[in-house]
A and B are shown apart, each in its own frame.
Chain A
Amino acid sequence: MRCKSLFAVLLGTVFVVFQASRVLAGAADVLVSTAWLEENLDNPDLRIVEVSVNPGQFERAHIPGAVNFVWHTDLVDPVQRDIASAENFQKLLREAGISDGTTVILYGDTNNWFAAWGAWIFDVYAVPNVKLLDGGRAKWEDESRPMTNRVASYAPGNITLGERNEMIRARLSDVMAVVDGSDQAKLVDIRSPDEYSGRIFAPPGVQELAVRAGHIPGAVNVPWGEAVAADGTFKSADELRKVYAAVGIDGSEPVITYCRIGERSSHTWFALSKILGYEVRNYDGSWTEYGNTVGVPVVNLAGTVWGGK
C-alpha cells in the first residue's frame, strides 16, 4: 500500500514537472527575458527589432544593435489600409540583415503593443523564430540596461517570404459570420471598458474615430492590461488561462481579438495564441472598420449617440 502511494506521488510529481516544463518551454519559445537578451547582444544569429508607437523613441536611444521598423510606414501599405505587401516586407527584412536562419527579437514602447503587432505580421508571412522581449522597452529602461543612439548596419539578409497566412487574420466578413451565428468563435474586445460600453468613441486624445460607439455583439471585454503583470511582462500561462477562462474563453473554440485599429489587439492575440496555444485570429479592421460599417448590429450599452449632445 505504501509502495503504491509512493509510486502515485512520484508519478504525480513527474506529471506536474512535465506539464510545468511544457508551459515554461512554450513561453520561452516565444518570449525572452531582458537578462537573456543582454547576455546575447553579440549573437550574430540574432536580430533585434524595435517597433515603437511613439516616433523618435528609437532615434533617441535603443538597445545596442537594434534596427528600427517604423509602424506608420514600414509595416503597412502606406496608401491602402493593409499590412505591408510581401514584396516590401521582404525588402525590409533583408535590409535589416535577416536571413532564413535568423532569430528575431521584437520589442517596443508602451508594453510591446506594436512590437506584438509586428510579431503578428511576421506570423502572417510565416517567418519562423520570432520572439518578443518580455516587458519591452520600459522594463529594459527600468533596469538601466545599456542603450545607444548609434545606428547599426548589417549586410543584406537572404530571407524569402512565402504566401500570406490569412488563417490568423479575421476580416469583416469573418466577424459578421460570428455575429449572425453562421460561424463559431469567441470575440475579445481589448479596449477600455468605456469604449466597450459605448460611453466614448475613442480613447482621450486620439483622433481616429468611428461614427458609432459600442462593441460587436457577443464580444467580451478583457482590456489588454489584464494580460500583463505590474512590470509589464506577460502573466504566467496559468494566470492568463484563468483571466480568459473567467469570461468563457478556454481554447475550446476559436477566438477573434480586436481593438480600435487592430494593433493593441495583437498583444492579446500574442498571449492567447503564442503563450496559451489557442486558435486565434486578429481582426485588424477592428472598431474603426466595424463601427463605421453600414447596417451591422452594434451593442451600445451607454446609448451614446454620435453628434448628439
Chain B
Amino acid sequence: MLRTEAVQRSSWLSLVAAALVVFGVLLWAWLLATPTPAGRALSFSLLSGALFGVLLQRSRFCFFCITRDFFEQGDARGLLGLVTALVVGTLGYHALFGTFVPDPLSGRLPPDAHIGPLSWVLALGALVFGLGMAVSGSCISAHLYRLGEGSPVAPFALFGALLGFALGFMSWNRLYLLAIEQGPVIWLPGRLGYGGSLLLQLSLLAALAWLLARLGRPAEPEPPVSLGQALWRRRWPVHIGGILIGMLAVVSYLRVAPLGVTAELGSLSRTAASGLGLLPERLLGLDGFAGCATVVKQALLSNNGVFVAGLVLGAWVVALLSGDWQPRWPRLGEALRGLLGGVMLGYGAMLALGCTVGTLLSGIMAGAVSGWVFALFCVLGVWLGLQLRRWGGW
C-alpha cells in the first residue's frame, strides 16, 4: 500500500516536472523566434531538436543497441528501423535536391549536405567511433538522449568526446596531408543523376533489409496493450521511429541543416583547445568540407547548439512521462569506460567529420559514398568492440 502511494506520488512529480520542461522549451523557442532569419532558424532548431530527442528516446533509436541486438540476439528489428529511416530520408532528400542543385552533373554539391572526402582516414575514424560505441555503451546521439534519462555514464562519455575531438584536431593537419586532401568527394547524384542515385540507394537498402530479415530471428509477439501504454510506457516500434526520423531529417535539411549532433561539441572542443594554444594556427582544409562543421565559436548560441539542447530536453520530457528517468550515481568502472569510449567517439567523429547521425544517417540520405563507408567501418568497430567486451568480461 505504501509502495503504491510512493509510486503514485513520484508519477505526479514526474508529470509536473515534464510539464515544466515543456513550458520551458516552448518559452525558449518563443524568445529565440525574433523576426529575423537567424531567430527563425534558432527557434526551429530548438523545436526540431526536442522532437528528435522524443523520437530517439521513445523508439530507442540507439545505433549501438540495435547493432548489438542483432549481433548478440539476432534481433534485426532495430537495424530494419534504421534502414526505414534511410529509405524515407533518401526519397525526401532526392525530391528536395532538384530545387537546390537543378543539374546534379554540374559538379556542384547541394548546400550543407554531409558529403565528405573518401580516404582511409574516414574508415579509421568510423572504426574508432564504432569501438567507442561498444566501450562507452552508446553513440554520441544516444548518450545525449540518455542524458535526458539521467544516465550516469553519458556525462563522462560526452566529456570524453570533447577530449577526443581535441586529439582529432591535433592530428588533423598530418592526416589531411597524408590522405584526406587527395580523397575524392563522391556524391552519387553527381555521378549517376538523381534517378540513378535513387535507384542504386533504394536497391542497396532493399538488399540490406532482405539480408537482415533473413539473418534475424523472428521476435516473440508482445502482449497487446492500451494506446496510452503503447505511447508512453512501451518502446515505440523502431520502424515507426525510423519513418518519423526520416521525415524530420528531410524537413530539417529543407529549413536549416541536415541532422547532426557533433558540430556544437566539436566547436566547443576546438574553441577550448585553440584557446589553450593546443592547436595549430590553421587546420588545413577543415572548414572547406561540408559535414558536422566545427568552426571556432563566434556566438553563444548556434543552430546545432540549441538543436542538441532541445534533444536532451525532449528526451528528458518523455523519459519523465514513461518512467525511464532514473538518475543514479555512476560506478567507477562505468565512469572510466564512459570516459575512454567517449574519447574514441570524439576522435572518430572528428576524423570522419561527423557521427552516426551526421555522416551515416544524413550522409547516406544525401547519396554520399562517405556515409556508406562510415556505416561499414562503424559496424565493424562495434563488432570488434563486442568481442573486446566479451574477452574482458564486461
A interface, CB within 8 angstroms of B: 55-56, 59-60, 70, 141-142, 144, 149-151, 153, 205, 207
Contacts and interface: CB of A to CB of B under 8 A. Distances in A.
20 contacts: A55-B111, A56-B111, A56-B112, A59-B99, A59-B100, A59-B101, A59-B110, A59-B111, A60-B111, A70-B108, A141-B36, A144-B35, A149-B100, A149-B254, A150-B99, A151-B102, A153-B102, A205-B295, A205-B296, A207-B282
B99 A151 contact: yes
Interface string B332-352: 000000000000000000000
Contacts of B277: none
A59 B100 CA distance: 5
Contacts of B108: 70
Contacts of B112: 56
A245 B112 CA distance: 44
B346 to A, nearest CB: 23
Interface string B92-108: 00000001111000001
A207 B110 CA distance: 24
Contacts of A55: 111
A70 B295 CA distance: 23
Contacts of B36: 141-142
Contacts of A141: 36-37
Interface string B219-260: 000000000000000000000000000000000001000000
Nearest to A205: B296
Nearest to A147: B37
A119 B110 CA distance: 26
A60 B111 CA distance: 8
B33 to A, nearest CB: 13
Nearest to B36: A142
DSSP class of B's interface residues: helix, strand, loop or mixed? loop
B109 to A, nearest CB: 9
Interface in B269-304: 282, 295-296
Contacts, number: 24
Contacts of A151: 99, 102
Contacts of A205: 295-296
Interface in B57-101: 99-101
A20 to B, nearest CB: 34
A144 B37 CA distance: 9
Nearest to B296: A205
A207 B296 CA distance: 14
Contacts of A207: 282
9 pairs of A and B residues whose beta carbons are closest in the complex: A56-B111, A59-B111, A59-B100, A151-B102, A149-B99, A141-B37, A56-B112, A150-B99, A151-B99
Contacts of B254: 149
Nearest to B97: A59
A141 B37 CA distance: 7
A67 to B, nearest CB: 11
Contacts of B99: 59, 149-151
Nearest to B38: A141
A144 B39 CA distance: 13
B349 to A, nearest CB: 22
B265 to A, nearest CB: 20
A109 B318 CA distance: 41
A58 to B, nearest CB: 8
B257 to A, nearest CB: 9
Contacts of B100: 59, 149
Q: Determine which residue in A60, A141, A149, A150 has the highest number of CB atoms from chain B within 10 A of its CB, and name it.
A: A60
Q: Determine which residue in B37, B99, B296 has the highest number of CB atoms from chain A within 10 A of its CB, and name it.
A: B37
A307 to B, nearest CB: 11
A227 to B, nearest CB: 23
Given A56-B111, A149-B100, 16 more contacts: A56-B112, A59-B100, A59-B101, A59-B110, A60-B111, A70-B108, A141-B36, A142-B36, A144-B35, A149-B99, A150-B99, A151-B99, A151-B102, A205-B295, A205-B296, A207-B282
A232 B313 CA distance: 38
Contacts of A60: 111
Interface string B34-60: 011100000000000000000000000
A142 B101 CA distance: 26
Nearest to A70: B108
B108 to A, nearest CB: 8
Contacts of B296: 205
Q: Determine which residue in B110, B111, B295 has the highest number of CB atoms from chain A within 10 A of its CB, and name it.
A: B111
A208 to B, nearest CB: 11
Contacts of A153: 102
Contacts of B37: 141
Nearest to A57: B111
Nearest to A58: B111
B252 to A, nearest CB: 13
Interface in B122-157: none
Contacts of B110: 59
A274 B114 CA distance: 42
A279 B207 CA distance: 68
Contacts of B102: 151, 153
Nearest to B98: A151
Contacts of B101: 59
Nearest to B110: A59
A309 to B, nearest CB: 12
B94 to A, nearest CB: 15
B293 to A, nearest CB: 12
B379 to A, nearest CB: 31
A288 to B, nearest CB: 16
B77 to A, nearest CB: 36
